[in-house]
Structure 1
Amino acid sequence: MLWIKALHIVFIAAWFAGLFYLPRIFVNLAQVPANSQAERDRLLMMADKLLRFTTMLAVPALVFGLWLWLGYGIGKGPGNAWMHAKLTVVLLVLGYHHACGVLLRKFHRGENQRSHVWYRWFNELPVLLLLTAVVLVVVKPF
């Protein structure tokens, strides 16, 4: 079980690292001048690869988490409301991951309507989600 926990943590950490950096690429894409096609193409390629990589990391992270939850019963039973809160945060992170994919497709189509400042704020959301998840798992306030 400790190996599964360790792998879960490693995959989650790597997944979040990608989710921290992908919106930063969006900030750069929003600042690319219209006449700089090579720069835009390079940033889009980087974003595509990073989104694919974070998706590949998310799958085992979720599988190991489900294994711990369903297989070992971690977070089940009375006094484990923290697990329900954590699962809510996980759903929010999955939604954020999906939103990144939607935004990237808009960049590919040239339909970006947002400023680099908006993407800077969007970039802060996974930090808040990660802090919430860590508090729920380590402190278990419920």
Structure 2
Amino acid sequence: MTDFLITLYPWTKAFHIMSVISWMAGLFYLPRLFVYHAEQSTPGDSRDEVFQVMETKLLRVIMNPAMIASWGAGLVLVFTPGIVDWGAVWPYVKGASIVAMTWFHHWLGLRMKDFAASQNTLTGRQYRMMNEVPTVLMVLIVLAVVVRF
């Protein structure tokens, strides 16, 4: 089995990178949609409906599958012999950051439900601030993996 994982390593890594790019694109874009949604529509108007369709499709068609693919390929990489040095700090930093990114993904899903129920309480400014969360996590992950501290 380990020989098989080693043989598949370049393909798994490529698939992981592509799925992470897709997931990150959604994590950057959905909070931005929430900014516009909060600032440019009122519950029940035509813009509200358009934003809800855009947000739902982004989350369900792009972000959820990309997150699942990222996790799946990432776990295969973790179990590929020789890839992770468990004596270093970087895999734990990356792991904690991925858990935080997954939490943020689900937090965005809850905010989408708030908009659907006309119960959004956050402002555009607050969503702008939350839009920085994936950037901080991405920086931590990339530095952890590339620098391997």
TM-score by length of 2: 0.89
CA RMSD across the alignment: 1.4
Q: Aligned partners of 1:140 and 1:129: how far apart in 2?
A: 16
Q: Please tell me whether residue 62 in structure 1 is matched to residue 71 in structure 2.
A: yes
Separation in structure 2 between the aligned mates of residue 3 and residue 26 of structure 1, nearest angstrom:
35
Q: Which runs of 5 or more structure 2 residues have no equivalent in the other structure?
A: 1-8
Task: Check whether the contact 1:15–1:54 (CA below 8 A) recurs between aligned residues.
Answer: yes
Mapped contact 1:69–1:76 kept (Cα < 8 A):
no
Query: 2:20 aligned with 1:12, yes or no?
Result: yes
Deviations along 1:60-119, one digit per CA (max 9) or x if unpaired, are: 1111100010133521442x2210110000000000000000000001001111111000
Aligned residue for 1:132?
140
Q: Secondary structure at the match of 2:83?
A: coil
Confirm or deny: 8 A CA contact 1:83 1:136 kept in the other structure: yes
Count of residue pairs the alignment pairs up: 140
Identity score, percent: 31
Query: What do residues 32-68 of structure 1 show as CA deviations (whole Å, max 9, x unaligned)?
Result: 2437711110011000000112001111111110001
1:29 aligns with 37
Alignment of 1:73-112 (within 5 A): 73-78=82-87, 80-112=88-120
